Amino acid sequence: MCTALTYLSGDFYRGRTLDYERGYGEEVVVTPRAYPFAFRHEGLCAPHYAIIGTACVADGYPLYYDAVNEKGLGMAGLNFVSSAAYRPCPAEGRGVAQFELIPWLLGSCAGVDEACRLLEGVCITDDAFLPGLPPAKLHWLLA
């Protein structure tokens, strides 16, 4: 189980643990503003906020564990194995694949209120990143 916290006292701090028994090739990754994210259900997002965080890069795509954008909005994906559930993208509606959620929100939003508005009516989908790489069972901290 992963743990996360925020602390505000003049400055803002965010931290998290990454409680895995082994590494998955994670590294510090910077996604520049011009990097084209091609989201499965939300289309191409070329101009977006720059992002830095910890990710495993697979097939040229940053699978972020946690990150912060240039505006200071941060997000962490935390294990939630027994309770996380995703479903297919609805025929009518909006969907974001589980592995796209961090770059989608951090690329699009400058703050928490803006992110909450963007999330309204969005289905977090069960799309696998690649065959054999199913969605991680997560919940998220956004601050």
Catalytic residues: 2
Listed in sequence order, the residues at least 6 apart from 123 whose beta carbon sits closer than 8 Å to its beta carbon are 87, 89, 90, 93, 94, 95, 96
Segment (H or E) for 39: strand 37-39
Task: Compute the distance between CA of residue 67 and CA of residue 75 in angstroms, rounded to an integer.
Answer: 6
77 touches 136 (CB < 8 A): yes
76 touches 14 (CB < 8 A): yes
Length reported for the chain: 143
